[in-house]
Structure 1
Amino acid sequence: MARWVIFIIIYLLLSVYGFQAIKTITKQSWIHYVFIAIAILVVGNFIFQFAASSEGRVLTPAKSYAFGFLLAFMSLTLVLVPILLGEDIIRGALGLYDKLVTKETFYLPSRRRFVSQIALGLAAIPFASLLYGMYRGKYQFRVLNYTLHFDDLPDAFDGYRITQISDIHSGSFDNKEKIEYAIDLINEQQSDVLLFTGDMVNNKASEMLPWKETFSKLKAKDGKFSVLGNHDYGDYVDWSSKEEKAQNLEDLKAIQKEIGFDLLLNEHRYLKKNGQQLALVGVENWGKGGFKKAGDLKKASSLIDKDDFKILMSHDPSHWDAEVVNDDYHYHLTLSGHTHGMQFGIEIPGWIKWSPVKWRYKQWAGIYESVGQYINVNRGFGYLGYPGRVGIWPEITVIELKKGTKDS
């Protein structure tokens, strides 16, 4: 209860400053009432959605949108507050100066209209961006292509193409046409193999049922392989029994099989071509910071040769630094997801790559290299929590393996 009281107080203070900016710019009373109505509706819907009983830490689409609209509205007020507060400090200082120096009655100068206009103009940028991210950004799929060189790549796999997708989060989808477009886009890459690195659902296997037929259309000549992510285990649901939770996981495994995925549960497969092979290793979720650690790298690799060329599928990129990169086995390429790039950031190739998630994850999006080993962190196919994406778009990764060094 105390959390809600603190939240409402903060929200009211921010909204008051936002109202002051609106009131300074225009005298049209209907605009004032519209602002007040929106402020009440946004917070009222948020409280209604999150204060109601739930099945645990389950984010339904309704809750996600309530959070999204609250985030957008508060981004508006959060930009306004420091600007208007700064002006208030200056106004107060000028009034105090007049009182102390001229000995006149304390007089607080009125707000300057142009300051409020500038503040609102700046605040409109994140506000509009977050609304755009909810409306279109979440389905703004892009294909990212990488070429990685390895001296010990088997000759038969020179030019081998891998398509990676991650973090489907089917429980969040609300546009079948956009998802079908993305499936077609994946198939257009005509890669040799398709690898999915976990989080097929948000919470329950049933979320994937409406999308099973759509994802069954995914194609790759050497097969489709997958691993589990932290959300796939149903850990964020208050199940009525352990048996119900266990059955949910079994149902998800069955759905993956029906779609055509070969699910790797701390095990391996060999991809073979022209008498040569590379080892595909898949671990269950292993993550730092309180996430499930069901992954067992030693078990997954127990039946492969140390000298095999190895591709590892591990949902959480924190696993790479913690266990993979310094393992006795040399894992040439690790494929992860999990971070979503926080679904918010700024990326201009060759100039800037930033997201707040970088403060949590050292490897959070794209290709990283250490001691001759690579990891690709996919930005995710779907979305979770905030029902949109801003600057960090949904990703389909295509990696081409090449024999030799980059400059050869």
Structure 2
Amino acid sequence: MLRWIILLIIYVILDLYAFQAFKTVSKNNWFHLSYWLISILVVGNFIFNYYGFNRRDGFSHAHAYAFGFFIAILIPKMILFIGMFTEDVFRVPQAIYRYFTEGDVAKGNYFASRRQFISKMALGIAAIPLASIIYGIYKGKYNFKVLKYTLTFEDLPSAFDGYKITQLSDIHSGSFDDIEKVKYAVGLVNEQQSDVIVFTGDMVNNKAEEMLPYLDVFNKLEAKDGKFSILGNHDYGDYAAWDSETAKHQNLEDLKTIQKQIGFDLLLNESRFLEKNGERIALVGVENWGTGGFKQAGDLKKASQNIQANDFKVLMSHDPTHWEKKVIQDEYHYHLTLSGHTHGMQFGIEIPGWFKWSPAKWRYKYWAGIYKEMGQYINVNRGFGYLAFPGRVGIWPEITVIELKKGISNT
């Protein structure tokens, strides 16, 4: 309760400051009333959905949109607060000076009027994240992008020169609210005509049943050399409230069955060989392994027990911290690791080939795209779906296509 009171006090302070910008540029009472009405409705809806909320009870679409709209107005108000507060840094000393120098002459009007220029500039800047977040909620979360990479390896078997891998990750089917958009994305995957499709974990938010409405959508994925998958941290049901351990276990078994129905070969600390013209590459799949309190069920040694040191290896591991902490130091050389998990925080700024930023970089060293360390590559997929915040801003849902080439290794 105390936490909510403190948060509410902070929000009221932000709101009062933000209102000053609106009040400065417009004297229309209906405009002022609309401001407070929207603010109260959004905050009230957020409190209604989250007061007493327990993540294990489930995260509904109502929770997602309450959070999304709250963020949509909170960030612009923080910008307005900074603008108005910065102006007060100058107004307050001036008022104090006038109090002691002008006395009764000022008749209590010690504060200089707020300048419309400052308010308009603050409102203009605040409008950018507001519009971006609203776009992200209604359009951005389904703004699927096909990102293509070509990676060159000296020891790639010749038969696999030009071999194409499509990677999907973090479907989070329980978050979807538009099946037609999902169908479009699956069609986009098939258009790539890749040799193999791999899915690197988090098919659901919590429960296997979330995937049931999408069985006939995802089973249309096609790849001539098969479809392979692993588990992510959300797939184990660790974040849901279960009546018993038996129910939780059954949920995981149900998810395994669903993956089979879709056509995925689920690798549980296992490996498979992809063969072509008498040559082969190893596809290795580990269960989730992550730091920061995430499940560590992944067993790299067990997963690789049937492959040779000189095999060309593609590793599927959901959390990129596994690559950072374990994989690149392993005695086996894993040529390419495919991960997801971070979602790129679903928020950031990217100018392809020039600039890439997201708050995710404060949590993960490798958070989106291709990285190379010690002669080994990792691709961190930005995710197919979304979680918690019902949108994406600047970090779009991703379908990755990686073409393997034989030749001198990329620098």
Task: Give the TM bin, normalised by the shorter chain.
Answer: over 0.9
- 1:321 is aligned to 324
- 1:12 is aligned to 12
Letter in 1 for 2:281: L
Which residues in structure 2 correspond to 1:44-123 (within 5 Å)?
Answer: 44-52=44-52, 54=54, 56=56, 58-102=58-102, 105=106, 107-123=110-126
- Where 1:56 maps in the other structure, the secondary structure is helix
Unaligned runs of 5+ in 1: none
Residues 323-375 of structure 1, C-alpha deviations (whole Å, 9 max, x = no match): 00010000000000000000000100232110011011010000000111000
TM-score, scaled to structure 1: 0.98
Which residues in structure 2 correspond to 1:3-402 (within 5 Å)?
Answer: 3-52=3-52, 54=54, 56=56, 58-102=58-102, 105=106, 107-402=110-405
**1:89 Cα deviation (Å)?**
2.0
- Cα pair 1:193 1:222 within 8 Å, conserved: yes
- Cα pair 2:151 2:410 within 8 Å, conserved: no
Letter in 1 for 2:30: W
- Cα pair 1:56 1:237 within 8 Å, conserved: yes
- Looking at structure 2, the residues matched to 407 and 125 of structure 1 have their Cα atoms a distance apart, in angstroms, of 38
Unaligned runs of 5+ in 2: none
**1:194 Cα deviation (Å)?**
0.1
- Where 1:325 maps in the other structure, the secondary structure is helix
- Looking at structure 2, the residues matched to 335 and 261 of structure 1 have their Cα atoms a distance apart, in angstroms, of 16
**1:90 Cα deviation (Å)?**
1.0
- Looking at structure 1, the residues matched to 358 and 68 of structure 2 have their Cα atoms a distance apart, in angstroms, of 18
**1:100 Cα deviation (Å)?**
3.7
Residues 116-164 of structure 1, C-alpha deviations (whole Å, 9 max, x = no match): 1111111111111111000100000010110001111011101100000
**1:2 Cα deviation (Å)?**
1.4
Percent of residue pairs identical:
64
- Where 1:202 maps in the other structure, the secondary structure is coil
**1:63 Cα deviation (Å)?**
0.5
**1:406 Cα deviation (Å)?**
5.0
The count of aligned residue pairs is 408
* 89-98 vs 379-388, which moves further: 89-98
**1:113 Cα deviation (Å)?**
1.9
* 61-70 vs 98-107, which moves further: 98-107
TM-score, scaled to structure 2: 0.97
- Looking at structure 2, the residues matched to 274 and 232 of structure 1 have their Cα atoms a distance apart, in angstroms, of 36
Computed over aligned residues only, the root mean square deviation of the Cα atoms, in angstroms, reads: 1.4
Residues 232-253 of structure 1, C-alpha deviations (whole Å, 9 max, x = no match): 0010011110000000000000
Letter in 1 for 2:389: Y
- Looking at structure 1, the residues matched to 261 and 289 of structure 2 have their Cα atoms a distance apart, in angstroms, of 25
- Where 1:262 maps in the other structure, the secondary structure is strand
- Where 2:131 maps in the other structure, the secondary structure is helix
- Looking at structure 2, the residues matched to 2 and 210 of structure 1 have their Cα atoms a distance apart, in angstroms, of 41
- Cα pair 1:202 1:231 within 8 Å, conserved: yes
Residues 206-257 of structure 1, C-alpha deviations (whole Å, 9 max, x = no match): 0000001100000000000000000000100111100000000000000000
Distance 1:92 1:55, change over 3 A: closer
- Looking at structure 1, the residues matched to 15 and 297 of structure 2 have their Cα atoms a distance apart, in angstroms, of 45
Letter in 2 for 1:9: I
- Looking at structure 2, the residues matched to 404 and 55 of structure 1 have their Cα atoms a distance apart, in angstroms, of 49
- Looking at structure 2, the residues matched to 167 and 126 of structure 1 have their Cα atoms a distance apart, in angstroms, of 25
**1:98 Cα deviation (Å)?**
2.6
Residues 370-403 of structure 1, C-alpha deviations (whole Å, 9 max, x = no match): 1110000000000001100011000000000011
- Cα pair 1:55 1:239 within 8 Å, conserved: no
